[in-house]
Structure 1
Amino acid sequence: MSHAKKPAPPREPEEERGGYKLPALRVYSEIATSLSSDADLEQLLERFLQTMIRLAGATAGAVRVVSSDGQHMRLVGAIGLPQEVIDREYLVPIGCGVCGRAAQHFAIQRGEAAGNCHEVTLLDYFGEGCKNVIAVPLRHKGKTMGVYNLFMPCDRSIPEEVALLFLSISEHLGMALENARLTRENLRITLMDERQMLAAEIHDSLAQTLAYMKMRLAMLREAVREGDELSTERYLGEVDDALESAYSGLRELLTQFRQKMDPRGLLPALEDLMHNFCNRTGIKVDFINRAPDVNLTPDQEVQVFHIVQEALNNISKHSAAQHVSLTIEFIGDRYALTVTDDGIGLKTQGSNGPSMHLGMSIMKERAQRLGGEVIVESRPGQGTRVHLEFPAPRPRRVGAR
Structure 2
Amino acid sequence: MSYRWMKWTILFLPTVTIGLWEYVRHQLLMPYLSMEAGNWLSPVIVYIVSVTLLRRMFTMMEHTQSALDQERMAKGKLQERQLLAGELHDGVAQSLFLLGVKLDQARRRFDDPEVQKMLNDISRTVSEANHDVRQSIANLKYSPRQEDIGATSLEYRIGEMIPLAGVKAELDWQLDEGLLRPDEQAELLACIREALLNIHKHAGARHVTISGSEQDGEWQVTVQDDGKGYDERALNDPGTFGLRITAERAELRGWTFALRREEGWTRFILTGGSRHG
Q: TM-score, normalised by structure 1?
A: 0.41
Structure 1, residues 173-202: CA drift from partner, whole Å, max 9, x if none?
344333333333333444455567779999
Give the total of aligned pairs: 237
Q: Does 1:305 align with 2:189?
A: yes
Query: What's the % identity of the aligned pairs?
Result: 14
Structure 1, residues 335-357: CA drift from partner, whole Å, max 9, x if none?
64321245xx348xxxxxxxxx9
Structure 2 match to 1:365: 245
Structure 2 match to 1:164: 47
The CA deviation at 1:306 is 1.0
Give the distance between the partners of 1:167 and 1:243, measured in 2 at CA: 67
The CA deviation at 1:318 is 7.2
Give the distance between the partners of 1:330 and 1:192, measured in 2 at CA: 35
SS in 2 for 1:264: helix
SS in 2 for 1:370: helix
Give the distance between the partners of 1:320 and 1:273, measured in 2 at CA: 24
Which has the higher relative contact order, 1 or 2, with Cα contacts under 8 A spaced 6 or more apart? Answer: 2
Structure 1 match to 2:57: 173
SS in 2 for 1:260: coil
| Structure 2 CA distance for partners of 1:331 and 1:49, relative to 1, 3 Å | closer
Structure 1, residues 193-243: CA drift from partner, whole Å, max 9, x if none?
55677799999x989x87x969x99xx8xx99xx99645762464245424
Give the distance between the partners of 1:332 and 1:164, measured in 2 at CA: 47
The answer (yes or no) to whether the contact 1:376–1:385 under 8 Å persists in 2 is: yes
Structure 1 match to 2:268: 387
1:307-322 matches, within 5 Å, as: 307-315=191-199
Give the distance between the partners of 2:194 and 2:248, measured in 1 at CA: 15
| Structure 2 CA distance for partners of 1:282 and 1:240, relative to 1, 3 Å | closer
- By percentage of residues, which structure has more helix? 2
| Structure 2 CA distance for partners of 1:43 and 1:183, relative to 1, 3 Å | same
The answer (yes or no) to whether the contact 1:213–1:239 under 8 Å persists in 2 is: no
**Letter of the structure 1 residue corresponding to residue 170 of structure 2:** V
**Letter of the structure 1 residue corresponding to residue 172 of structure 2:** F
The CA deviation at 1:367 is 1.7
SS in 2 for 1:263: helix
Q: Does 1:285 align with 2:170?
A: yes
SS in 1 for 2:47: helix
Q: Choose 1 or 2 for highest CA Rg.
A: 1
The answer (yes or no) to whether the contact 1:327–1:338 under 8 Å persists in 2 is: yes
The answer (yes or no) to whether the contact 2:210–2:224 under 8 Å persists in 1 is: yes
Give the distance between the partners of 2:126 and 2:150, measured in 1 at CA: 36
Q: Does 1:43 align with 2:28?
A: no
The answer (yes or no) to whether the contact 2:169–2:208 under 8 Å persists in 1 is: yes
**Letter of the structure 1 residue corresponding to residue 6 of structure 2:** L
Structure 2: gaps (5+ residues): 21-38, 230-236
**Letter of the structure 2 residue corresponding to residue 326 of structure 1:** I
Q: TM-score, normalised by structure 2?
A: 0.54
Q: Does 1:268 align with 2:153?
A: yes
| Structure 2 CA distance for partners of 1:310 and 1:236, relative to 1, 3 Å | same
The answer (yes or no) to whether the contact 2:172–2:210 under 8 Å persists in 1 is: yes
| Structure 2 CA distance for partners of 1:374 and 1:318, relative to 1, 3 Å | same
Structure 1: gaps (5+ residues): 1-37, 59-155, 348-356, 397-401
- By percentage of residues, which structure has more strand? 1
The CA deviation at 1:376 is 6.1
Give the distance between the partners of 2:194 and 2:159, measured in 1 at CA: 15
1:56-135 matches, within 5 Å, as: 56-57=18-19
